[in-house]
């Protein structure tokens, strides 16, 4: 088994690549990342400049902060949507397998997705409980064990797991080697 570097594992995880990261894929990912970085840098500078101007005009601090947060959120989601579209358009996330190893790869995708879904459900429940706990005046454990919070976390985690499993299974492409 070959060892991959931490940088390679981070790149594969960030872009959603399950198979090997060859030179072609790495070159395309660098091009996509550079294409996304330039508008992101410009928009971040424009957002910071707008925040400085709004502060200089002595607008309410809360309004300036919330506007800056929403602006950054919209920019972030736009860049992430572009990255997903560009990587999907070039079929870089598809994993090509032979018919003999397809079942094994599907089982491995199922196991990995179930583990990730369990992690997502638990972390979502703990974080949503923490958010509910701040300023509520109740104990953390009482909020943690409320049925409403447990049910919401299970529904969110189950939905996320099903969606990720569908995506993982659709990325597996069967090829005939001749």
pLDDT in tens, 130-156: 988 887 888 888 888 988 999 999 999
Task: Report pLDDT digits (tens) over 65-99.
Answer: 888 899 999 999 999 899 888 888 888 888 888 88
pTM of the model: 0.68
Q: How far does Cα 156 stand from its chain's mean position?
A: 15
Q: Greater confidence, 124 or 1?
A: 124
**In percent, how much of the chain has pLDDT > 70?**
98
Q: Give the whole-angstrom CA distance, residue 124 versus residue 77.
A: 20
DSSP 95: E
What does each C-alpha distance from 83 to 40, 148, 152 come to in angstroms? 12, 36, 30
Structure tokens at 70: 């929403």
Average pLDDT score over the chain: 88
Angle, to 10 degrees, between the axis of helix 147-170 and the axis of helix 102-133?
Answer: 150
């Amino acid at each position: 088994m070959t060892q991959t570097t931490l940088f390679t594992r981070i790149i594969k995880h960030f872009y959603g690549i399950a198979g090997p990261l060859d030179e072609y894929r790495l070159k395309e990912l660098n091009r996509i990342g550079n294409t996304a970085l330039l508008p992101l840098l410009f928009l971040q500078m424009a957002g910071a400049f707008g925040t400085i101007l709004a502060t200089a005009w002595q607008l309410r601090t809360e309004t300036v902060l919330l506007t800056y947060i929403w602006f950054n959120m919209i920019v972030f989601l736009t860049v992430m949507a572009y990255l997903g579209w560009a990587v999907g358009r070039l079929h870089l996330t598809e994993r090509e397998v032979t018919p003999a190893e397809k079942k094994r790869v599907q089982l491995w995708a199922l196991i990995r997705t179930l583990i990730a879904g369990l992690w997502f459900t638990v972390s979502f429940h703990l974080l949503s409980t923490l958010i509910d706990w701040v300023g509520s005046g109740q104990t953390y454990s009482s909020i943690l064990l409320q049925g409403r919070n447990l049910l919401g976390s299970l529904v969110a985690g189950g939905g996320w797991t099903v969606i990720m499993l569908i995506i993982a299974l659709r990325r597996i492409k069967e090829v005939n080697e001749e």
